[in-house]
Structure 1
Amino acid sequence: MKRSQLILIALGVITIGGLYVLPTVVVDNESKADSVSQENDSAATSSTDPVAMHEAELSPDQRLQINTLKLQIAENASKEVVKSSTEEIAAIYQELGKYDSAGYYLSLAADQQSDMELAEEAGNAYYEAFSFALDPEKVSYTAEQTRKYLNQVLDNDPTRLDLKTKIAMTYVSSSNPMQGITMLREVLAEDPSNEDGLFNMGVLSMQSGQYKRATERFEELIQYHPDNLQGQFYLAVSYFEAKQNNKAKAQFEKVKAMTEDEMILGSVESYLEKL
């Protein structure tokens, strides 16, 4: 989760007095800007043809670079060239924050090459797109693509709990959220100190208003992973929402000592003023 997302959540908590309406898919400023353009496109276009939607946002140099890389792929069928050129194309779109376009190209190469590394890269790109999506059609499509490609890797290597956690989170925002929660519990049963598992279970507890449970999850998280700034911050927010004011104040002060980031410090001060 990016720093700007973290702050927006914090400001949202201050505004609404809780995380009862915290979306599973959190959106930052860039994603809000994306939503404006998405409103002018059909849901089908935004979901199934991200490249066409984002083509106009490329600079002339970027468009030329991508076309050159496409030509390299067309003229050379070697796996090495296809993989490296595809990854370069994806990197251009990722730099622009167009993760679904990156996922699109990576998935084409993964399907063509039956390459597990490319499948993982495609799944991760689609997961990033899922994390920032606003449109329900896009949320559904990118979640489906995330599962499709990350499951290929997970089936090949069941020890990849990091991928299982991502897949779980795509289910949480679906019509079957318990499937995702069950998967997260399985992750923690296998690895009780799993950083992503503890963090996401803590966030989900906040989302459902179970702040006592959230504090327990985040306390576990920072016990194993004390440098996890997001976990430290969310623990403070959970204390705040649970009306454990002394603990909240001490925890926010701890967060202040961990960072010099002005956005985070500003958010922390907003909470401290209310304590």
Structure 2
Amino acid sequence: MKKTQLILIGVGILAIAGLYALPSVVVDNEGEVDAISQENASVGTADSDAVAMHEAELTPDQQGAVSKLRGQLNQEGAENSKTAVLDSLGGIYQELGKFDSAGYYFALAADESKDLALAEKAGESYYEAFTFALDANKVAYTAEQTQKYLNRVLENDPTRLDLKTKVAMTYVSSSNPMQGITMLREILEQDPQNEDAIFNMGILAIQSGQYKRAAERFEDLIKYHPQNLQGQFYLGVSYFEANQKSKAKAQFESVLEMTEDEMILNSVQGYLDKL
């Protein structure tokens, strides 16, 4: 499995298990960009191309709402009014799961007002887009935007370990993955029970073929967070890959008792059939 795919699993896609059927999230546009892109060069053309594809997926009512809001961007008015319109546009696409488009508008709003709440919305949206991205350029771009906006929040509040974990995972997919791994280790030094950091370190251990180390990570994870179904599953995967068959069998059987989800059950059964 490709490194990028394993990273995507670590941030929620779970391709190995096939645990969830996730929607495709790629974006594109051109039309409305003229009114705002000139004002904010920091938002790249990858985003201006990233709204139109989603536009075709909107219902007529949604298209009407978006068109009305875009029209307001060209009207003279207070700066905070424009920010509110951009925020509303981002919210529409966020609700639809069109995260590139949501990030585009939230980023414009954040840069317009310097509001850290909007910067967080932009960073979170780009991170969601990052987790779905398969194209190398899309991965790199959404990672960069995630870092830009979430780091803006972290500069103001370094205690936000939830955001730091997400930034770390974007660095792991870059040309300098050790930067991300170092960040995850720093998070665990501050909070040894941090759920996201332990999980992602476990996934990275699987990626590098360190299955015994991965098992140790997932053992810690389920000790602190026993309801983490992903961790429970990947503990079984780690045992399986480490050739600890009796442990793998017991772990997968335990997972079977934790859920009634058909996709999860089928994934687990697939491993049990190999034991």
TM-score interval (norm. to shorter): 0.7 to 0.9
Q: For residues 134-173 of structure 1, what are the structure 2 equivalents within 5 Å? A: 134-173=134-173
Is 2:184–2:197's contact at 8 Å kept on the other side of the alignment?
A: yes
Q: Deviations over 1:92-124 (max 9, x none)?
A: 323433211100000000111110011001000
* CA distance, structure 2, for counterparts of residue 218 and residue 56 of structure 1: 42
Q: CA deviation at 1:46?
A: 4.6
Q: CA deviation at 1:135?
A: 1.2
Change (3 A) 1:229 1:203: same
**Aligned match of 1:18:** none
The letter of the residue matching 2:16 is I
Q: For residues 40-55 of structure 1, what are the structure 2 equivalents within 5 Å? A: 46=46, 49-55=49-55
The letter of the residue matching 2:63 is R
Q: CA deviation at 1:246?
A: 1.1
Is 1:218–1:232's contact at 8 Å kept on the other side of the alignment?
A: yes
Q: Deviations over 1:174-198 (max 9, x none)?
A: 1000111011111101111100100
* CA distance, structure 2, for counterparts of residue 108 and residue 256 of structure 1: 46
TM-score w.r.t. length of structure 1 = 0.83
Q: CA deviation at 1:72?
A: 4.5
* CA distance, structure 1, for counterparts of residue 259 and residue 73 of structure 2: 44
Is 2:126–2:143's contact at 8 Å kept on the other side of the alignment?
A: yes
* CA distance, structure 1, for counterparts of residue 147 and residue 238 of structure 2: 30
**Aligned match of 2:104:** 104
**Aligned match of 1:77:** 78
In the alignment, structure 1 segments of 5+ residues that lack a partner are: 13-26, 38-43
The letter of the residue matching 2:92 is I
In the alignment, structure 2 segments of 5+ residues that lack a partner are: 1-8, 29-43
**Aligned match of 1:5:** 13
Is 2:13–2:132's contact at 8 Å kept on the other side of the alignment?
A: no
- More moved, 51-60 vs 149-158: 51-60
Q: CA deviation at 1:59?
A: 2.6
The letter of the residue matching 1:123 is G
* CA distance, structure 2, for counterparts of residue 215 and residue 159 of structure 1: 28
- More moved, 194-203 vs 132-141: 132-141
* CA distance, structure 2, for counterparts of residue 46 and residue 28 of structure 1: 26
Q: 1:30 aligns with which of 9, 23, 28?
A: 23
How high is the sequence identity, in percent, across the aligned residues? 64
Q: Deviations over 1:47-75 (max 9, x none)?
A: 55211333233232211111223344555
Say what the alpha-carbon RMSD is for the aligned residues: 2.7
**Aligned match of 2:117:** 117
Q: For residues 162-241 of structure 1, what are the structure 2 equivalents within 5 Å? A: 162-241=162-241
Is 2:168–2:183's contact at 8 Å kept on the other side of the alignment?
A: yes
**Aligned match of 2:63:** 63
Change (3 A) 1:71 1:120: same
* CA distance, structure 2, for counterparts of residue 147 and residue 4 of structure 1: 18
- More moved, 68-77 vs 51-60: 68-77
* CA distance, structure 1, for counterparts of residue 192 and residue 251 of structure 2: 23
Q: CA deviation at 1:85?
A: 4.0
TM-score w.r.t. length of structure 2 = 0.83
The letter of the residue matching 2:265 is L
Q: CA deviation at 1:34?
A: 5.1
**Aligned match of 1:243:** 243
